[in-house]
Amino acid sequence: MALKFPNSMDDCIYFTNRTLENNTGKAIAWVYRKPCPKCKKTTMGKPVVKGKVKMRAEEYVCSGCGFTEQKIEHEESLNVEIQYTCPKRGNSDEATTQYKRKSWQGVPAYVFECSKCHEKLGLTKKMKAAKKKKVADEDAESDEA
Ligand SMILES: [Zn+2]
Ligand SMILES: [Zn+2]
């Protein structure tokens, strides 16, 4: 398995670069924009109104043909791609997991497994960012770049 590191943040609907468990591990993770299943010409994203991306929108649209998908359905059809260094033994590898938060150590996270020690690792929301932007906590994800 060889993941392709994104060329540009614009290619992604999610991107994060962070440490895991007290700085002993680290992870870079991203979710590529989904190619429009209808026109197949461009990729989908949050709707843009007057030049501004509506981060809180409950749907994703194709800028080419206008095809719309509900947020949850859309996101759950995508994968998070992860390059990580495991906090346990320092194993570095790649993983993919569904773009859907699951319960991990009592908090919602994108959960993946270390290929070597099979430890379950999780990418949680960045709490600081979420607190700072209480009104738009979903936005915090996109600001993590
Ligand atoms: Zn389209
Ligand atoms: Zn490990």
Q: Starting from the CA of residue 65, give the closest ligand.
A: 1
Cα–Cα nearest to 14, from 135, 108, 145: 145
Among 88-97, 98-107, 123-132, name the one with the lowest average pLDDT.
123-132
For the chain, the structural domain boundaries read 8-34+78-128, 35-72
Residue 130: is its pLDDT beyond 90? no
Q: What is the pLDDT of residue 126?
A: 74
Q: What is the pLDDT of residue 143?
A: 42
Q: What is the pLDDT of residue 96?
A: 98
User: Which residues crowd ion ligand 1, with CB under 5 Å?
Assistant: 36, 38-39, 62, 64-65, 67
Q: What is the pLDDT of residues 98-114, one digit of tens each?
A: 999 999 999 999 999 99
Cα–Cα nearest to 106, from 122, 86, 129: 122
Percentage, residues of the chain above pLDDT 70: 86
CA of 42 to the centre of ligand 1 (A): 6
CA of 26 to the centre of ligand 1 (A): 36
Neighbours of 72 (CB within 10 A): 11
